[in-house]
Amino acid sequence: MPIEYVNTVQFAGDAKRAMGVAQTTLVAQNFQITSSGELELQFIGPGISSTRENPLKAMTEGAFVIHDGAIHVKARLGGAEWMVKFLRIFPILLAVFFLTLWGVLAFFIPVFRLWWIFALPILVMSPWLVLAPMIGRSIQARTKNAIDALVSNMALIGTSD
């Protein structure tokens, strides 16, 4: 299920300046602008592959639209969605890899035929059952906060003289 984010901020100012803020910010983060006008800006984002990247990059596509005295933003958080899936799957696959590796070693080397050797990957990966969802929610929250900050800056700079 795609993660969508929608927000609206009241705005009464210069739409061109506000869209300029969004366009400058997005282009600096390697977003591709697909449609640009005085009242609308559509974009495709690069996505993220690390929690250390700019949270705005977690937007994979979206639009900023100014109408009815407000700035409307709608974005698909595909990068955040990908990281959430990765954080769910990676620890499990890593544990399966180590169980398989140690199973093959135990087959050929008798000293590895101890039960606790097979418990190690499960024990080491078990904290990720709690950490992965927490990190995933954190990525989503950081992305939503970054989008809100961008929209607030658009509104502020668009109304200032």
Calculate what percentage of the chain has a pLDDT beyond 90: 64
Q: What is the largest CA-CA distance in the chain?
A: 78
* 114 has pLDDT over 90: no
The pTM (predicted TM-score) of the whole model is 0.86
Chain segment 73-100, per-residue pLDDT in tens: 999 999 999 998 998 898 888 888 988 9
Phi, psi of 17 (to 5 degrees): -65, -40
Residue 15: how many CA atoms within 13 Å on its side-chain side? 15
Q: How many angstroms separate the CA atoms of 47 and 138, rounded?
A: 16
